[in-house]
Amino acid sequence: MNSTVVNVLACAVLAISGPVEAKGQALPCHWAHGRLTVGNGTPSTRIWPSRTHRMLGLVSPKHPDPEDGDEPEIPDDVENLITSENHTVWGDFYVCPVAPDRPGWMRFVVLKQARKLFVTDR
C-alpha cells in the first residue's frame, strides 16, 4: 500500500479516536501556581496556571470523567476560602493529571494539596 495512503488512514483513525486516556500510566504530579475558580461549565472547578494559556479542570479521583457529575475532592483549606461572594482563590496547587497533556484541550487533574492561599476580589 502506498505510504501516503497509510499516513492518511493513520491520521483519520487518530482524529476519530478522541482524547487518549492515561489508563495504567502514572503521570507525574506537580505544583501549579495559579487561580482556582468555581463557576458554570464542566468541570465547574478549574485552575488557571499563571503565565500560561492552559486550563486545568478538577475531577473526582474516584470517577475522573467530568461527565459523571461527581464533585472533585477539594482540600478543606481551599474549600473554606470559597464562598458565595468569593469564587477565586490564588495559591500553589499540587495536582495529579488523569490524562496526558494535549495542547488546546483542558487537562483533567485531581487536586491533592494547596499552600500559600489568598483570596482576591476578582
Is residue 73 assigned to a domain? yes
Total of domains in the chain:
1
Predicted pLDDT of residue 9: 39
* Residue 69 lies inside a defined structural domain of this protein: yes
Instruction: Tell me what pLDDT residue 62 has.
Output: 83
pLDDT tens for the chain, 122 residues: list them.
454 443 433 333 333 333 334 445 578 999 999 999 998 888 989 999 999 999 999 998 887 777 776 788 899 999 999 887 777 999 999 999 998 889 999 999 999 999 999 998 65
**Within a domain: 3:** no
In a domain, 15, yes or no: no
Is residue 8 in some structural domain? no
- Determine, yes or no, domain membership for 18: no
Q: Is residue 6 part of a domain?
A: no
- Is residue 27 a contact partner of residue 101, using CB atoms and an 8 Å limit? no
pLDDT at 51: 94
Distances in whole angstroms, Cα of residue 12 to Cα of each of 6, 7, 20, 97: 10, 9, 15, 27
AA identity, residue 92: D
Question: Residue 76 domain-assigned?
Answer: yes
Amino acid 122: pLDDT? 59
Residues 6+ apart with CB under 8 A from 66: 42, 43, 57, 59, 108
Q: Given this model, what pLDDT does residue 69 score?
A: 67
Residue 100 structural domain: 24-119
Domain CATH number, residue 99 = 2.40.50
